[in-house]
Amino acid sequence: MRKFSLILMLCLACASLFAEPKSIYDFTIKSIDGQQVSLGSYSGKVVLLVNVASKCGFTPQYAGLEKLYEKYKDRGLVIVGIPANNFAQQEPGTDEEIKKFCSSKYMVTFPMMAKVSVLGDDQTPLYTFLTGKSTDPQFGGDIKWNFTKFLFDRSGKPVARFEPATTPDSPEVAAAVEAALGK
């Protein structure tokens, strides 16, 4: 009987490894410093995921993202910057170079992750989930450029998607963040 229980526990553990993700909390990604970060650690917070790049016309949005983070972090907002080099090679640097750029030029203090692919055959699983019409019918669809923003409520449910031209200091972003924080 004990052997059967052990086998059952192993099967359940193995099945959970291959279970279909249900929210962003089911993903682990690498930080810009190389540490594994479970997005589940942000459970209970409002999360804004943004694919970022250092050599893009939208790069000054880092300042707006940092300002938004500073304004709302004590109320439960977390901004997660995810560098990607998918669009016109506008993020060519190493993680170390990206971190140095963000901290020295824009004084970024919100969490930054390691560079990934957000589009194409090598798309990271998180972005496959975010852009999939079956997993996110309301906000799914390919990433069109750097600084696409996905907003999640405290339960990890997607509540808004903002395309790159919508800046972090826009009234639309502020209203959506306020609404998510208020729930």
Determine the Cα–Cα distance for residues 161 and 138; give it in Å rounded to an integer.
9
Active site residue 14: no
The per-residue pLDDT of the chain, averaged, comes to 91
Answer whether residue 125 shows pLDDT above 60. Answer: yes
Q: Which of 11, 14, 56, 102 is catalytic?
A: 56
**Residue 34, pLDDT score:** 96
CB burial of 63-76 (b: ≥16 within 10 Å; e: otherwise) equals bbbbebbeebeeee
| Residue 135, pLDDT score | 75
Residue 20 pLDDT exceeds 50 = yes
Domain boundaries, the chain: 22-182
Instruction: pLDDT band for 149, please (50, 70, 90 cuts).
Output: very high
CB of 145 closer than 8 Å to CB of 128 = no
Q: For residue range 51-107, list pLDDT tens digits in order.
A: 999 999 999 999 999 999 999 999 999 999 999 999 999 999 999 999 999 999 999
Neighbours of 143 (CB within 10 A): 23
Domain 22-182: top CATH class = alpha beta
Q: Which amino acid is at 142?
A: D
Of residues 2 and 23, which shows the higher confidence score? 23
- pLDDT band (50, 70, 90) for residue 139: confident
- Between residues 94 and 16, which one has the greater pLDDT? 94
